[in-house]
Amino acid sequence: MQDLKQIKGLDTLRAFAVILVLIGHLGPYYSKSEAIGYFIKSIILPDATFGVYLFFVLSVFLITSILLNARIESNDINRISIVKNFFMRRALRIFPIYYLLIFILYFMFDDIKGHLGYLLTYTVNMYLFKVDSWVASSATHTWTLSVEEQFYLIWPWIVLYVNRRYLKYIFIIAVIFGAVSTYLTLKIKMAPWLTINCMDGFGIGGFYAYARLDSERCRVFEKNIKRLIPFVFIPYFFWRASVYTNNQFGISFRRFVYSIINVWLIVLVVNNRSELLRR
């Protein structure tokens, strides 16, 4: 399998995810009277949640690939060293800029002081769930980092220590668990910001990384994703059209659908022969 570091198109996907989030939060905004702009924003262009999930799926795909390759190269020896190295690299990459942001926000917004502990411990998503409000914090946008850091506290241990023959079942269970958990907590407004409700995206990203370890397993996975994608786009556009129809059918499976589309995009980039995407 090709070294993922050589596929620069994955960085393009990450940038695309960030752009979708920025557009979702900062606009432009259109009213229904602005027909073309409203149609493009509401139907054609994926929303901010899609961007967040693309980032989740891609991040887990890349990190799981790194962990699995490290495990294979070490022949299941010194796995604790791999875990330590993972946490150290993660901390050096995320902590400095994150805590600098919190330091700045602390002096800019008075509401930060009331839940500083949640921000310092990467649990702001739990705070938002507790108060059941998106506008409860000036640092609401850090919920994605909270979800990732909580998830990565346990993921390396699973990827490195579970018998490799059973890893696929772990990924499948994660996908099912995330979808079911989202459905069961649908009526709670801030429930989607809990880590357990993001497990479908994490699971499918990890599953693709696992599948790529074996050429035949990878071929089957990619073939099934490509076969599934036409059926996934039907509920995707049906739900997106709810801004016109007010029909919310399928909203509980929105993130699951997003996850399938996200991993399909990764498959396309990984297998694309264009020099523009691969380099």
Give the whole-number percent of the chain exceeding pLDDT 70: 92
Element at 136 (helix H, strand E): none
Average pLDDT, the chain: 88
Ramachandran region of residue 28, left (φ > 0), alpha (ψ -120 to 50) or beta?
beta
The radius of gyration of the chain from alpha carbons, rounded to an integer in Å, stands at: 19
Distance CA 130, CA 21 (A): 24
Q: What is the mean pLDDT of residues 64-79?
A: 91
pLDDT of residue 199: 93
Given a cut of 60, whether residue 17 has pLDDT beyond it is: yes
Tokens of 165: 């023959």
Name the amino acid, one letter, at 226. K
Instruction: Check if the beta carbon of residue 168 is closer than 8 Å to that of residue 198.
Output: no
User: 5 falls in which pLDDT band (50, 70, 90)?
Assistant: low
The 10s digit of each residue's pLDDT in 234-277 is 888 888 877 777 665 566 678 889 999 999 999 999 988 655 44
Instruction: Check if the beta carbon of residue 102 is closer than 8 Å to that of residue 119.
Output: yes
Q: What is the mean pLDDT of residues 12-19?
A: 91
Token pair 């805590």 is at which residue?
99
User: 159 falls in which pLDDT band (50, 70, 90)?
Assistant: very high
Q: What is the mean pLDDT of residues 193-204?
A: 92
Tell me, yes or no, if the pTM score tops 0.85. Answer: yes
Token pair 């490195």 is at which residue?
160
Between the alpha carbon of residue 212 and those of residues 51, 75, 131, 272, the distances in Å are 24, 18, 41, 15
